[in-house]
Amino acid sequence: MIPTLAWTPEGVRFIDQTRLPLEESYVLATTYEQVADVIVTMVVRGAPAIGVSAAYGVALGALRSTAASTHEFAPEFERVCACLAGTRPTAVNLFWAIDRMKRCFAALRAADSSMATVKEELLAEAHAMYEEDIAACKTMGAFGGALLPDEGGVLTHCNAGALATCGYGTALGVIRSAIEQGKKINVYADETRPFLQGARLTAWELMADHIPTTVICDNMAASLMRAGKIQAVVVGADRIAANGDAANKIGTYNVAILAKEHGIPFYVAAPWSTIDMATPTGDLIPIEERPAVEVTHHGGRQLTPNGVGIRNPAFDVTPAKYITAIITERGVLRPPYGESLKRMNETAK
């Protein structure tokens, strides 16, 4: 099992995803500020992993508090939540996780719980989210694995794998499950500039599982599709709007258009916590612009001339019309997503 993040008596231990694949090192976050820092610097990344990390961050905020009572702790709790919510804007799982911790705290406060109980229960809630995340990945893997062909190439973009979740993965969980179902899948991994999550992380974790993997530059996908090498595309998501538009790592929208043009199915795999029924369309999803240095430099080495303009949006939005199916732990959704998402949302209430 790939140790994306794990609770320890001292705090949360993260594998440092900025140093993979050549170095397997770990970062221990013992305070909520350190968890926030780990999210901002992308030591941990991936929408589901960010959500659970933030939940543990909130729990650490309570555990490290010297407040004498739950009442005294309340404003501190708000500061902890605000700090963690301010780390990254696009992935909705972050806000979903913090909201869930807020609801947990509100219930504890309403029940006049002691600080000892608050500490215990907030940590238990984070643990529950961790376990639920792995279970959701396994379930959506089973649903999604059934959609993949018995044999062929599957393209994925960025890393929606064990490293983006608490384990198993969303898009890579679908691939893992297909292989467990006896299918012969070889994976093409977009390297995913500028942060190279595909070249570094997807390649690393699939090789650890002995899954045949070929890394390509992002711009090679169309020619491989035309050559008949790719039978399906599976990606993750950072936020899915109520109409099915899906925000995911920059370049996902490119891949979706290429898949459509070549008649290849394009699947999005994400836990239900990624679905944001409060955001009507993808146009309303905030897109994080990351520092230019991620594009201009690699490993401290400058690639571009001084002073040139740079764009570095970390995400793009794939309109629903390009998505063949959305795979969640509650089931597989088909277009029109406005209706199918609404129906599944109401069923689950």
Active-site hit among 133, 238, 245, 316: 238
Residues 173-192 that bind a second copy (CB under 8 A): 188, 190-192
Q: Does 226 bind a second copy (CB under 8 A)?
A: yes
β-pairing, 246-249 vs 315-318, is: antiparallel
- Residue 164 CB burial class (10 angstroms; 0-12, 13-18, ≥19): buried
Which of 9, 10, 307, 349 lies at the binding interface for a second copy (CB under 8 A)? Answer: 307
Residue 164 φ/ψ, nearest 5 degrees: -100, 0
Q: Which is nearer to a second copy, 74 or 220 (CB)?
A: 220
Residues 28-67 that bind a second copy (CB under 8 A): none
Residue 30 neighbours by CB distance under 10 Å: 15
DSSP labels, 16-52: -TTTTTT---EEEE-SHHHHHHHHHTTSS-SHHHHHH
Residue span binding a second copy (CB under 8 A) among the ranges 85-93, 106-114, 272-280, 313-321: 313-321
Q: Give the DSSP H or E segment for 261.
A: helix 252-261
Binding mask 256-275 vs a second copy (x if CB under 8 A, - otherwise)?
Answer: -xx-xx--------------
Residue span binding a second copy (CB under 8 A) among the ranges 34-42, 109-117, 137-145, 252-260: 252-260
Residue 148 φ/ψ, nearest 5 degrees: -75, 155
Q: Give the DSSP H or E segment for 79.
A: helix 70-85
Spell out the long-range contacts of 291-294 with Cβ–Cβ below 8 A and sequence spacing 24 or more.
294/194, 294/195
144: nearest Cα among 228, 273, 266 = 266
Question: Does the CA dihedral 193-276-246-168 come out positive or negative?
Answer: positive
- Please check whether residue 200 is in contact with residue 226, taking contact to mean a CB–CB distance below 8 angstroms: no
Which of 310, 335, 338, 340 lies at the binding interface for a second copy (CB under 8 A)? Answer: 310
Q: Which is nearer to a second copy, 135 or 222 (CB)?
A: 222
Q: Does 219 bind a second copy (CB under 8 A)?
A: yes
Q: Does 302 bind a second copy (CB under 8 A)?
A: yes
Is there a catalytic annotation at residue 16?
A: no
Q: Does 214 bind a second copy (CB under 8 A)?
A: yes
Which of 125, 276, 316, 329 lies at the binding interface for a second copy (CB under 8 A)? Answer: 316
Q: Does 304 bind a second copy (CB under 8 A)?
A: yes
Q: Which is nearer to a second copy, 85 or 295 (CB)?
A: 295
CB of 245 to a second copy, least distance (A): 11
Which of 71, 313, 334, 348 lies at the binding interface for a second copy (CB under 8 A)? Answer: 313
Binding mask 131-170 vs a second copy (x if CB under 8 A, - otherwise)?
Answer: --------------------------x-------------
Q: Which is nearer to a second copy, 41 or 296 (CB)?
A: 296
Q: Does 250 bind a second copy (CB under 8 A)?
A: yes
CA gyration radius for the chain? 20
270: alpha, beta or left, given left = phi > 0 and alpha = psi -120 to 50?
beta
Q: How far is it between the farthest Cα atoms of the chain?
A: 66
Question: Does the CA dihedral 48-49-52-54 come out positive or negative?
Answer: negative
**What is the distance, to the nearest Å, from the Cα of residue 167 to the centroid of all Cα atoms in its chain?**
11
Q: Which is nearer to a second copy, 50 or 230 (CB)?
A: 230
Q: State the residues that interact with a second copy by CB under 8 A.
A: 21-22, 157, 188, 190-194, 196, 199-200, 203-204, 207, 212-224, 226, 250-251, 253-254, 257-258, 260-261, 295-296, 298-299, 301-305, 307-313, 316-317
Instruction: Give the active site residues.
Output: 238
